[in-house]
Chain A
Amino acid sequence: MNALVTVTGDVLIVVGALVFTTAALGVLRFPDAYTRLSAVGTAGGIGIIFVVSGALLHLPSVPNLVKVIVIIALQLITSAIGSIALARSTYLTRTPLHRPAYDELTSSATHGK
């Protein structure tokens, strides 16, 4: 039972690290501001949640559970909203998209809808 909890914690931490790796590679390799923001937005919210949940399973106690719940709540509220605000200001400063396959925001904005 104890080993199972530890292994689950390891898996969660590795998944969190995988999310961070994805984001770091994304920032390096993606072509424009929007795609890079997309990569960072994911890691800030989800990566942290996986890592702290895994750490909790390694050191289970009530104070740690409270800390993890507070961390997850604050991360979910701030990280995603921050990314959306950054993405919105990126668009409002007319940062161009890299070879968009479709763009319904520009067409919607120019038609004044």
Chain B
Amino acid sequence: MTWLSWPIRLLVFTGWFAKEIVVASAVVLRDNLTPGQASTPGIAHYATRCRTDAELTLLAALITLTPGTLALGTETTPAGARVLFVHGMYNVDADALRTELRDMEGRMLHAVRRRGGRS
């Protein structure tokens, strides 16, 4: 069954990501077209659930491709968890940015892993 649902999950995620791009573009565009800067930039420490470097690279690329967020760097903790440092522009604090990242990461992992699963 996982072989059958894999391409479907990938397609669903691609569609969801395209929608996210449009939504995030609108936020950035509105900020740039109105006077002043409404952004609250900052860098958050995000412990990912990625198991391989390939998953981490893909997640960092997707974060960078989303308007308003930018992956800055990565490190591996002694416990083996892969950590990303993410620059965000439109989140009130680091926890709000982390919530958003966790949602995207979960959807991505469920799509790219043949067996699915978000942890």
What residues make up the interface of A, taking CB atoms closer than 8 Å to B? Answer: 15, 18-19, 21-22, 25-26, 28-32, 34-35, 37-39, 41-42, 45-46, 76, 79-81, 83-84, 87-88, 91, 97-106, 108, 113
Contact = CB atoms under 8 A, between A and B. Distances in A.
A96 B112 CA distance: 36
Interface string B80-94: 000001010100111
Nearest to A37: B70
Q: By DSSP majority rule, is chain A's interface helix, strand, loop, or mixed? A: helix
Contacts of B68: 38
A105 B25 contact: no
Contacts, number: 123
Interface of B: 21-22, 25, 28-29, 32-33, 37, 39-45, 57, 60-62, 64-73, 77, 85, 87, 89, 92-94
A46 B14 CA distance: 12
